[in-house]
Amino acid sequence: MGQGARKLIDQLRMRQDNVKSLGQHFLNNEDVLDKTITLADISGQDHVIEIGPGPGVLTERLLETDCELTAIEIDQGICDFLKHTFPNLNLISGDALREKWPKVNKLVANIPYQISSPLIDITTKMQSIEYVVILVQEEFAERLVVEWEGDKGSLGMCSMLDWESKIEMRVGPHCFTPSPKVNSCLVSMKRLEPPKNSKLTKILIRQAFEQRRKKIRNTLSKAPKRISRVKNWHNKAYRDAFQSIDYPLLDCRPEELEIEDWLDLAGLLEDARAAMG
């Protein structure tokens, strides 16, 4: 049996103060930790990455499983504490957005909320990661899983192409030390096989949601900024293909389209481009 969350938090707080700008609100609730570990469903074959271990409340639980664990923490004082408390932990001291991640298959973490979006981008690009359990700010979780119609945006619509995401548990501010002003959610994300034209679809979604009040006919008539990053596409090919298609939903605003509609639109454009040679 380990030391438990409250003891680890107290030990770290005796050594140093919390750094608010690094999102240092530490999880003090054993039920949320139990749920995280149950959801993570860890086996001896797993290589797990934890971003922002802080005092090690989740780290301790992960080390009790038989997975291989790597943690990345930016705060040098916390890294010294972790090395002292968990001498066998494979710890990378640095910024998770800049450090090279090892080839892991799961991300399990109570992440620093201020880097949620770029962290999801890195996780999505890292194809070896097939499953994620993360604690994030409630608003971010709702946009990620598109809980309500009003949550529709490029984050949720694009992530639907790569992940099946689910809010597993709501977590109140009292579960953290010190308490944040916001609510949190435990979210699971299971990797999906990306559908055909996934990359083009994401580029269309991102461009359309940049001006979400406009009809997509207007925002998408200009070639998207990163179109040449999609295989076989460039500005002129896009403009020609766009002019040639007839798609009734072009007169809608982006939040009126479902993910299947975006895939249909990308498919039409792809067919038009291929037909033009």
- Strand pairing category for 106-110 and 131-137: parallel
- DSSP single-letter state for residue 71: E
Q: How far apart are the first and last CA of the chain?
A: 65
Residue pointed to by tokens 């359309």: 208
DSSP assignment string, 195-256: PTTHHHHHHHHHHHHHTTTS-HHHHTTSPPTTGGGSTT--HHHHHHHHHH---GGGGS-GGG
Q: How many helices (H) and strands (E) does the chain have?
A: 11, 9
Q: Shortest gap between Cβ of 4 and ligand SAM (angstroms)?
A: 12
Least distance in angstroms from the C-beta of 153 to ligand SAM = 23
Tokens 């119609």 found at: 149
Whole-number minimum distance, CB 73 to ligand SAM, in Å?
A: 5
Q: Least distance in Å: CB of 9 to ligand SAM?
A: 7
Residues that bind ligand SAM (CB under 6 A): 22-27, 51-54, 57-58, 72-75, 78, 95-97, 110, 112, 115
By Cβ distance, which residue is nearest to ligand SAM?
A: 52
3-state DSSP assignment of residue 74: coil
The smaller minimum CB distance to ligand SAM, of residues 73 and 270, is found at 73
Shortest separation between residue 37's beta carbon and ligand SAM, angstroms: 12
Residue 190 vs residues 108, 116, 157, 245: alpha-carbon distances, Å = 12, 17, 15, 34
The least CB distance from residue 78 to ligand SAM, in Å, is 5
Q: Which is nearer to ligand SAM, 112 or 156 (CB)?
A: 112
Comparing CB distances to ligand SAM, the nearer of 24 and 201 is 24
Q: Angle at the Cα of 208 (from 204 to 213), degrees rounded to 5?
A: 165
Query: Which of residues 54 and 156 has its CB atom nearest to ligand SAM in the complex?
Result: 54
Task: Give least dist CB 225 to ligand SAM, A.
Answer: 26
Residue with tokens 């992960």: 62
- Nearer to ligand SAM among residue 99 and residue 258 (C-beta): 99
Choose between 27 and 158: whose C-beta lies nearer to ligand SAM: 27
Q: Hey, which residues does 188 pair with through a beta bridge? A: 133, 166
